[in-house]
Structure 1
Amino acid sequence: MATARVHRFSNWGKEKRGAHYPCQWYLMERDRRVSGVNRSYVSKGLENID
Structure 2
Amino acid sequence: MAEKTYNAGVKEYRETYWDPNYTPRDSDILACFKVVPQPGVPREEAAAAVCA
Both proteins in one fold, TM over 0.5: no
Please give the range of the TM-score, normalised by the shorter of the 2 chains. 0.3 to 0.5
Structure label with greater radius of gyration: 2
- Greater helix share, 1 or 2? 1
Which structure has the higher relative contact order (CA within 8 Å, separation 6+)? 2
Instruction: Compute the TM-score of the two structures, normalised by the length of structure 1.
Output: 0.37
